[in-house]
């Protein structure tokens, strides 16, 4: 599957995220008794929320990946240290 094949999938997923977000916004506003804005405003708001969520996930996933890398290094170092001490016994 090439990069060109994934573009329609990415667009479809993003569209689904925006629609879900728009539905949640409508539900939340109705639930709290606030007026629901027009479709254009809902579209813009859901677009902004999806963008923000993507940015947060991107930043946090980098941090998580970095933590895994650190843990891997520490684990390997600990294993080497254990093996070194076993050889000395």
The string of pLDDT tens digits covering residues 46-75 is 999 999 999 888 888 878 888 888 888 888
User: Rounded to whole angstroms, how far apart are CA atoms 79 and 75?
Assistant: 6
Nearest to 47 by CA among 68, 70, 22, 23: 22
Closest CA to 42 of 14, 17, 15, 21: 21
**C-alpha angle 51/53/54, rounded to 5°?**
65
User: CA 36, CA 28: separation in Å to the nearest integer?
Assistant: 9
Q: How confident is the model at residue 24 (pLDDT cuts 50, 70, 90)?
A: very high
Is the pTM here over 0.75, yes or no? no
Domain ranges, ordered by start, for the chain: 3-88
């Amino acid at each position: 599957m090439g990069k060109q094949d994934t573009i329609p999938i990415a667009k479809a997923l993003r569209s689904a995220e925006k629609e879900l977000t728009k539905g949640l916004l409508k539900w939340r506003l109705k639930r709290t008794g606030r007026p629901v804005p027009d479709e254009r405003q809902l579209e813009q708001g859901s677009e902004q929320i999806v963008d923000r969520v993507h940015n947060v996930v991107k930043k946090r996933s980098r941090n998580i990946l970095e933590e895994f890398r650190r843990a891997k290094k520490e684990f390997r170092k600990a294993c080497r240290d254990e093996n070194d001490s076993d050889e000395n016994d």
